Amino acid sequence: MLVFILNAGSSSLKYQLMNPTTQNVLASGLVERIGIDGRLVHISNDSKTKLEITMPTHKEAIEKVLETLTTGDTKVIDSIEDIDSIGHRVVHGGEYFSKSVIVDQDVISKLEELIPLAPLHNPANILGMKICMDLMPNKENVAVFDTAFHQTMAPSSYMYALPFEDYEDHGIRKYGFHGTSHSFVSNEAVKLLNKKDSKVIVCHLGNGSSICAVRDGKSIDTSMGLTPLEGLMMGTRSGDIDAGVLSYLMSKKDMNAEEVVNYLNKKSGLLGISGISSDLREIIEAGEQGNERAELCIDMKCKRIKKYICSYAGMLEGVDAICFTAGIGENADLIREKVCSGLEFMGVELDREKNSIRNDENREINTQNSKTKIFVIPTNEEFVIAKDTYSLTKA
């Protein structure tokens, strides 16, 4: 069984070809600058291939990817007929989709209705489906949603304190994102705990970051909201902010609504506070050299993570494990140390020596006496997509 995994963005797309029963990845890659000049980076057969080629639309980009998989030195399959099914990452499934589904016209129509909730992502996700259905008409396509894992939240967790009609008429509520990552990591944590009744907090910390409270394998709350802007301070996103700041910024900086939301999404967060970069690695390096704004940036990031952890510990009525994942969560030992420092009252005791180790394995970084486990678990969102696709399409 081979699943072609596609994550289509507005001017880029990521892909993998995976056997979901073995988790073996035959090939992976990234296409960028679609509609501009085109760039393809493809990894297969233990080598990396870079191609500069014109790709006016997503169709040409996907055609080139399929050609790369089936010809020349990059060949890993004889033809596209060797692909059994296609799994698509879809950012927003709204309230329509609480689990992955086989794509048909009804699914596409519902996703098109949801475009106002994810105007930057859903159109590209839908386009990827339509192109694959056109290029490989005899293959089934599966939509796997970032939001689906969080559909188990109770209304008391996902509702905003706005007039109820805004939820009924416009769907304004918390949806949450990074669902495939939170699902994968929390499931791995439950295996490590070897415990039926589990209380797990997953910290997905990357350029985009979110935290999720998971009880018995189900999301009960998460930090991102109607959009990915809510929650933690991120690479360029402000995260939680007083709503009054929006009108104040509009007045003081002569911005309209679209401009101020763009300001919060793309010019704030780590970039806005540090004035250096949205890349935490560069900020940590500057902090080590005494840059005060970099140090402030790191402190703000860690305090906000800690605030969510403490909040979710209360909601879960205890914590069995705190999990760190994604680029920052898996690699930034300083961040993990600062987040865990001061949580000893929750039974959290970090082993600094274990915390300094870096590898690609699931690992436990708490002391032997720690009542709460601390795990570093590399995320694998593509495997979740492949697994769900296989489950829905296997003969």
Owning domain of residue 83: 3-145
Question: In the prediction, which pLDDT does 118 show?
Answer: 84
308 and 209 fall within a common domain: yes
Question: In the prediction, which pLDDT does 237 show?
Answer: 94
Q: Encode pLDDT of 92-116 as tens digits.
A: 999 999 999 999 999 999 999 999 8
> Hey, how many other C-beta atoms are within 10 angstroms of the C-beta on 26?
16
Q: Report the chain's mean pLDDT, rounded to a whole number.
A: 94
Q: Which residues contact 106 (CB under 8 A, 6 or more apart)?
A: none
Question: In the prediction, which pLDDT does 369 show?
Answer: 95
Q: Encode pLDDT of 137-186 as tens digits.
A: 999 999 999 999 999 999 999 999 999 999 999 999 999 999 999 999 99
Nearest to 237 by CA among 265, 260, 263, 259: 265
Task: Please say if the pLDDT value at position 395 is more than 70.
Answer: no
Question: In the prediction, which pLDDT does 182 show?
Answer: 97
In a domain, 154, yes or no: no
In a domain, 184, yes or no: no
223 and 350 fall within a common domain: yes
Output the pTM of the full model. Answer: 0.92
Tell me the C-alpha distance between 29 and 213, whole Å.
Answer: 32
Identity of residue 134: D
In a domain, 153, yes or no: no
Task: Please say if the pLDDT value at position 10 is more than 90.
Answer: no
Question: In the prediction, which pLDDT does 235 show?
Answer: 93
Question: In the prediction, which pLDDT does 196 show?
Answer: 80
Are 29 and 112 spatial neighbours (Cβ–Cβ below 8 Å)?
A: no
49 and 138 fall within a common domain: yes
Residue 275's pLDDT band (boundaries 50, 70, 90)?
very high
Are 178 and 186 spatial neighbours (Cβ–Cβ below 8 Å)?
A: no
DSSP string, 237-255: ---S--THHHHHHHHHTT-
In angstroms, the first-to-last Cα distance of the chain is 10
Question: In the prediction, which pLDDT does 330 show?
Answer: 96
Mapping DSSP to helix (H, G, I), strand (E, B) and coil, where does residue 39 land? Answer: strand
Question: In the prediction, which pLDDT does 21 show?
Answer: 92
Active-site positions?
146
Average of per-residue pLDDT across 191-199:
92
What's the domain count of the chain?
2
Q: For residue 280, what is the domain's CATH number?
A: 3.30.420.40
In a domain, 202, yes or no: yes
Question: In the prediction, which pLDDT does 120 show?
Answer: 78
Burial of 152 (0-12, 13-18, 19+ CB in 10 A): middle
123 and 43 fall within a common domain: yes
In a domain, 222, yes or no: yes
Average of per-residue pLDDT across 355-384:
95
Residue 394's pLDDT band (boundaries 50, 70, 90)?
confident
199 and 83 fall within a common domain: no
